[in-house]
Chains A and B, each alone.
Chain A
């Protein structure tokens, strides 16, 4: 599709980077910032994972053995927040920082100084959030959704810190999103029109608009929460003329687009990897773009499907049911396109491809349970049970997280200049994919059989299912240490990677040497 005419040897001469701690603190280089985001995300993945292990250990058997219910609620809440805002979103932002400029032939992000800020405020946000766990009365314990009035009248004083940290996360995301949009609109190499952009760039472009649209909504919701709790307003307090269900409307108007924020970039990643290892062009490029845009638009019309049991009028329930079901159509188009890309291809199964294939199958399973959840009358039975927990972990873990892993394995040679240990990487894949299903698949059954979510103890009939689930959980947790090992090993050394280590890979990022020099594309490449 495109060729670069960059004089790479010229680059090599003045590819010096600043040294010492200052390089990282003050850097405006998109690659450094990308690496820091990815490292931060990996750290948070392990922090949130440790909390998940606490949850699964407590649920290993009926009865309370390790933690008290109040602490259990703090663990589920902070696990959810850390995974969403600390692991998945920063991972995608890290990938965007690294790859978007390289994919569109730009030397850096458009607003590099802001880029530095949007990263560095994140560690503070999470220090505040995690620090609140050590406060008197404990950290947030009202679920990541923070429904009022549990979060207003009935929460501990760490709520103020929770709100503050969410504000910072939101500011960071918005700054990151603005940067992505400006970069994509202004810095594309000559000749790269919109319909020639790689899909990862497209999906991030759309994601960034979603972020800008909804993060202020979240900020508004938590601010109202804060004033209700501390300044005597009653937005969500019926006694003062407010309405607790309004909180849910506002929250999910943010929350539903948010779940697409966590999956659209995955679609872009998978649309890069499958063609590369199939040695065949992506099937239906333009319908992929339209489908992504359609999903993003629909995501604003379906928020109330999280609220079917709150007592909405029946016509509202019908409207939100129909809209939600509709999302299955563009999502289906994407899956069919990936399958059609594989069809009659010439496939090999390197680690990124393995993760991408697992993504397609497991994300689709998550999509099926999503479709089931869309059917309002049945959702009354599924809602707030482990069926939902199974559903969203299929889309978040085997969807979002698997795509990030696929991306890491795909671009690691480009980032580090080394090939990773592929035996180890494949071991990571197989242990992960098996354990993740042992972990989350039985949760469907627990939910159908009637186990509510967010409970620290359960009736004895759910014991077997929970035991299997917990064993899967520990295995999945341990498997991720292999990932850490692969990454560390690859950063430290290993077989030299070619500029284009994957035979079928396409795109401007493969036209620069590996590791990618500190400064790339100072002269824009030409795209035809």
Chain B
């Protein structure tokens, strides 16, 4: 009775009511089956609810003391009790059959056309295409100022990333899901795909999207402080467009790698290093070590005025930590995530910002040395 009022209140809410109140139908055959299953079970529950609560309310109205001063005497009836064991059992069998077939379809990852490895880490996704030489990181694109209520919130607040995953429509895409650190969960409601990313193990799942479009989801497993800021965005493109996109990006990434090799022999100026370093720091490091380098007491160490970042002797240790991470802590290996130039810049920045005064300049070649040790 009370829930019904709440339900009515909810239904009278403005705009986009449909998507706000129910599971999405999604855009794949599987997600449609899941939706149907959801609605079927929901209706069955409602029907049982109407019967049970109905009887209760009739009883509360008709069998109250003022109406029915003398209670009846029965307190057992084997036939009835057997009936209400058997009938629910049959209803359950009726639910279990479509559930089983749907589940088996969902778990069949064989014969995929495209395979993509999805790696979760605190707090971003890494996508790697197996058929092509393409891989990239995908991070939250919402500005910190929106989160802190300084700017107005964008339309896809918290559900937007810098580099979305792109997949073809009408093709079976297989995802290999794993993690670098803690457990995350890769979830796109429109595909009815949710799979945990477990460190050290690989899970498989798949989808086949019918309609081109942009589909949004989020990490669905508590993975630390920024768990709420780890969206998933997938763009599904027609196969031809997808092919064009993937060859483009492949070429771009190849070019970037070559440029990187050339850079090894080049020296950047302090201004250039500090400029780039600040940008990289704020997008990659500030989430934990904080924009002012102060860290979070007891959780993330400070860089300003303490530790390796101010120790003139510890230059190579500093590089090693940033490149290879510190195992068993939240400090990741950024060697794969950033270019050598970016790494050089951000380490230079850390050694010379917020009053740190080592005066050290780190160049891409220094990073290369550590990486190839």
Let me know if A381 and B55 touch, CB within 8 A. Answer: no
Q: Which of B69-120 contact A (CB under 8 A)?
A: 69-77, 80-81, 84-85, 88-89, 92, 95-96, 99-100, 102-104, 106-107
Contact of B183 among A64, A147, A156 (CB under 8 A): A147
Let me know if B226 and A345 touch, CB within 8 A. Answer: no
User: Shortest Cβ distance from B369 into chain A, in angstroms?
Assistant: 26
Which residues on the A side are within 8 Å of B229 (C-beta)?
A: 69, 457
Q: Which residue of B lies closest to A380 (CB)?
A: B194
Let me know if A464 and B196 touch, CB within 8 A. Answer: no
Q: Which residue of A lies closest to B24 (CB)?
A: A450
Let me know if A314 and B103 touch, CB within 8 A. Answer: yes
User: Shortest Cβ distance from A306 into chain B, in angstroms?
Assistant: 12
* CB of A95 closer than 8 Å to a CB of B: no
Using known A-B contacts A73-B225, A137-B298, A238-B199, determine if residue A381 contacts B183 with beta carbons closer than 8 Å: no
Using known A-B contacts A372-B38, A452-B219, determine if residue A437 contacts B96 with beta carbons closer than 8 Å: no
Contact of A142 among B69, B88, B104, B222 (CB under 8 A): B222
User: Shortest Cβ distance from B214 into chain A, in angstroms?
Assistant: 14
Let me know if A377 and B106 touch, CB within 8 A. Answer: yes
* CB of A442 closer than 8 Å to a CB of B: yes
Let me know if A368 and B45 touch, CB within 8 A. Answer: yes
Q: How far is the CA of A342 from the CA of B59 in the complex (A)?
A: 6
Q: Which residue of A lies closest to B64 (CB)?
A: A347
Let me know if A372 and B45 touch, CB within 8 A. Answer: yes
Q: How far is the CA of A237 from the CA of B328 in the complex (A)?
A: 9
User: Shortest Cβ distance from B292 into chain A, in angstroms?
Assistant: 15
Contact of B56 among A310, A357, A376, A380 (CB under 8 A): A357
* CB of B224 closer than 8 Å to a CB of A: yes
* CB of B370 closer than 8 Å to a CB of A: no
Using known A-B contacts A365-B3, A375-B41, A458-B228, determine if residue A63 contacts B153 with beta carbons closer than 8 Å: yes
* CB of B373 closer than 8 Å to a CB of A: no
Let me know if B3 and A437 touch, CB within 8 A. Answer: yes
Let me know if A360 and B37 touch, CB within 8 A. Answer: no
Using known A-B contacts A311-B196, A332-B88, A448-B21, determine if residue A380 contacts B65 with beta carbons closer than 8 Å: no
Q: How far is the CA of A438 from the CA of B10 in the complex (A)?
A: 10
Interface 0/1 of B130-164, CB less than 8 Å to A:
00000000000000001111000101111100000
Q: How far is the CA of A453 from the CA of B35 in the complex (A)?
A: 21
Q: How far is the CA of A326 from the CA of B193 in the complex (A)?
A: 26
* CB of B19 closer than 8 Å to a CB of A: yes
Let me know if B198 and A244 touch, CB within 8 A. Answer: yes
* CB of B53 closer than 8 Å to a CB of A: yes
* CB of B22 closer than 8 Å to a CB of A: yes
Contact of B327 among A147, A239, A341, A344 (CB under 8 A): A239
Interface 0/1 of A57-82, CB less than 8 Å to B:
00000111100111001000000000
* CB of B240 closer than 8 Å to a CB of A: no
Q: Which residue of A lies closest to B327 (CB)?
A: A239
Let me know if A309 and B329 touch, CB within 8 A. Answer: no
Let me know if A343 and B59 touch, CB within 8 A. Answer: yes
Binds B, one of A42-50, A252-260, A315-323: A315-323
Which residues on the B side are within 8 Å of A455 (C-beta)?
A: 218, 227-228
On chain B, the number of residues with a Cβ less than 8 Å from chain A's Cβ atoms is: 111
Let me know if A459 and B220 touch, CB within 8 A. Answer: no
User: Shortest Cβ distance from B162 into chain A, in angstroms?
Assistant: 17
Q: How far is the CA of A510 from the CA of B121 in the complex (A)?
A: 61
User: Shortest Cβ distance from A182 into chain B, in angstroms?
Assistant: 31
Let me know if A329 and B194 touch, CB within 8 A. Answer: no
Which residues on the B side are within 8 Å of A384 (C-beta)?
A: 185, 194, 220-222
Let me know if B199 and A244 touch, CB within 8 A. Answer: yes
Interface 0/1 of A90-118, CB less than 8 Å to B:
00000000000000000000000000000
* CB of B9 closer than 8 Å to a CB of A: yes
Let me know if A63 and B149 touch, CB within 8 A. Answer: yes
User: Shortest Cβ distance from A168 into chain B, in angstroms?
Assistant: 24
* CB of A24 closer than 8 Å to a CB of B: no
Q: How far is the CA of A126 from the CA of B182 in the complex (A)?
A: 28
Contact of B71 among A65, A278, A449 (CB under 8 A): A278
Let me know if B20 and A445 touch, CB within 8 A. Answer: yes
Which residues on the B side are within 8 Å of A25 (C-beta)?
A: none
Which residues on the B side are within 8 Å of A181 (C-beta)?
A: none
Binds B, one of A191-199, A202-210, A282-290, A416-424: A282-290
* CB of B297 closer than 8 Å to a CB of A: yes
Interface 0/1 of B1-44, CB less than 8 Å to A:
11101110110011010011111100000000110011001100
User: Which of B64, B228, B229 counts the most chain A CB atoms within 10 A?
Assistant: B228
User: Which of A336, A345, A347, A454 counts the most chain B CB atoms within 10 A?
Assistant: A347
Which residues on the B side are within 8 Å of A268 (C-beta)?
A: none
Let me know if B71 and A345 touch, CB within 8 A. Answer: yes
User: Shortest Cβ distance from B339 into chain A, in angstroms?
Assistant: 27
Let me know if B41 and A284 touch, CB within 8 A. Answer: no
Q: Which of B301-333 contact A (CB under 8 A)?
A: 327-330
Q: How far is the CA of A284 from the CA of B189 in the complex (A)?
A: 44
Which residues on the A side are within 8 Å of B69 (C-beta)?
A: 346
Which residues on the A side are within 8 Å of B14 (C-beta)?
A: 464
Q: How far is the CA of A62 from the CA of B227 in the complex (A)?
A: 15
Contact of A325 among B23, B48, B95 (CB under 8 A): B95
User: Shortest Cβ distance from A69 into chain B, in angstroms?
Assistant: 5
Which residues on the B side are within 8 Å of A433 (C-beta)?
A: 2
Which residues on the B side are within 8 Å of A237 (C-beta)?
A: 200
Let me know if B34 and A380 touch, CB within 8 A. Answer: yes
Q: Which of B160-198 contact A (CB under 8 A)?
A: 177, 181-183, 185, 187, 189, 192-196, 198
Let me know if A329 and B222 touch, CB within 8 A. Answer: no
Contact of B200 among A63, A239, A333 (CB under 8 A): A239
Q: Which residue of B lies closest to A385 (CB)?
A: B220
* CB of B299 closer than 8 Å to a CB of A: yes
Contact of A156 among B19, B21, B80, B299 (CB under 8 A): B299
User: Shortest Cβ distance from B84 into chain A, in angstroms?
Assistant: 5
Interface 0/1 of A134-145, CB less than 8 Å to B:
011110011100
Let me know if A314 and B104 touch, CB within 8 A. Answer: yes
Let me know if A464 and B75 touch, CB within 8 A. Answer: no
Q: How far is the CA of A380 from the CA of B196 in the complex (A)?
A: 10
Which residues on the A side are within 8 Å of B297 (C-beta)?
A: 136-137
Let me know if A141 and B225 touch, CB within 8 A. Answer: yes
Let me know if A452 and B6 touch, CB within 8 A. Answer: no
* CB of A30 closer than 8 Å to a CB of B: no
Which residues on the A side are within 8 Å of B146 (C-beta)?
A: 63
Using known A-B contacts A150-B182, A345-B59, A454-B227, determine if residue A336 contacts B222 with beta carbons closer than 8 Å: no
* CB of A35 closer than 8 Å to a CB of B: no
**New contact pairs (5) apart from A238-B199, A239-B327, A342-B63, CB-CB < 8 Å:** A69-B227, A73-B227, A150-B183, A309-B185, A309-B220
- Minimum-distance CB pairs A-B, first 8: A238-B200, A137-B298, A455-B228, A136-B298, A311-B203, A344-B72, A368-B45, A281-B75
- Between A and B, 6 residue pairs with Cβ closer than 8 Å are A143-B222, A154-B181, A284-B75, A342-B59, A377-B102, A452-B227
